[in-house]
Amino acid sequence: MSTTADPFHSDNPIYKNRLLRHRIGISLSIFAMAFGIGFLFWILAVLLINGLGAIDIEIFTRTTPAPGSEGGGLLNPIVGSLLMVGTATLISTPIGIFAGVYLAEYGHESKFAQITRFVTDIMLSAPSIVIGLFVYAVIVANVKHFSGWAGSVAIALIAIPVVVRTTDNMLQLVPASLREAAFALGAPRWKVATFIRLRAVKAGVVTGILLAVARISGETAPLLFTALSNQFFSSDMNRPMANLPVVIFQFAMSPYENWKSLAWGGALLITVSVLGLNILSRSLIRQNKTT
């Protein structure tokens, strides 16, 4: 009577070979994860060490210093970044949400919707410097001056595809039975899309908006072509406007120690802001899943 060897027996050569490859694969995966996380913590540690020393009350109350002068702060770039990011959010949010609703409702029926989804995917992967150059050619070159409005338009073009894709993906998660029940009650399609589907995934849509804000908060290249910068405090969006990413870029390469210290402080402010937005967005996603 012949017996069949147990494939999971420790003496089985095939089992031992597969177990060895499994352990090698797991070890390499853990090593790669530890390598990436190690560099991340290294970057954060250097940022905290250099940035915390620059954070004081003056960084929020004084404008950027002149070359060779002592002290100074980041009041004008902080205000400029808030104004431009806020304006870009106001531009991108309604456009992104309505475009996402359109794609979710008519994406499988309309050729235009399919083209829109394709263009959105291209814009998601487009280099930000290309978008900045486009806005420079369309707006700055025609009005003959840099401005906060041009900067807002540039980063809004980066935020729109993020909001569109997030809204579209969230609406696709709504059960078909919910839509069918609304249609059975006689609700028109636009009401089903806005008052039922969109309301059901409002937390996910807000998450997409927060992720878009986090994406555009640290963009430098588009603002170099559009808003440029301004050494003095200005809230006029029709003039060149200071912003944190460009000021960090300029100050980090300067020969002045106080400028470099302010650059570290600005980098820490942006990092903490983006980290806070990501934590908030993840908490909203978790809340949406539980509800």
- Between CA 152 and CA 208 the distance in angstroms is 18
Same domain assignment for residues 34 and 142: no
> What is the predicted pLDDT for the residue at 260?
93
> What is the predicted pLDDT for the residue at 4?
52
Same domain assignment for residues 40 and 180: no
5: left (phi over 0), alpha (psi -120 to 50) or beta: beta
Q: By residue range, what is the domain housing residue 92?
A: 58-290
Last residue of a domain, one of 10, 26, 52: 52
Same domain assignment for residues 138 and 204: yes
- Between CA 291 and CA 288 the distance in angstroms is 5
Q: What CA dihedral angle connects 105, 109, 112 and 117, to 10 degrees?
A: 60
Q: How many domains does the chain have?
A: 2
Contact 106, 113 (CB under 8 A): yes
Average pLDDT per 10 consecutive residues for the chain, totaling 291 residues: 53 82 93 94 93 91 89 93 96 94 84 87 91 95 95 95 93 85 85 87 88 91 92 91 93 92 94 88 71 60
Same domain assignment for residues 152 and 179: yes
- Between CA 256 and CA 282 the distance in angstroms is 39
From residue 111, alpha-carbon distances to 155, 167, 230 in Å are: 28, 19, 45
CA 77 to chain centre: 19
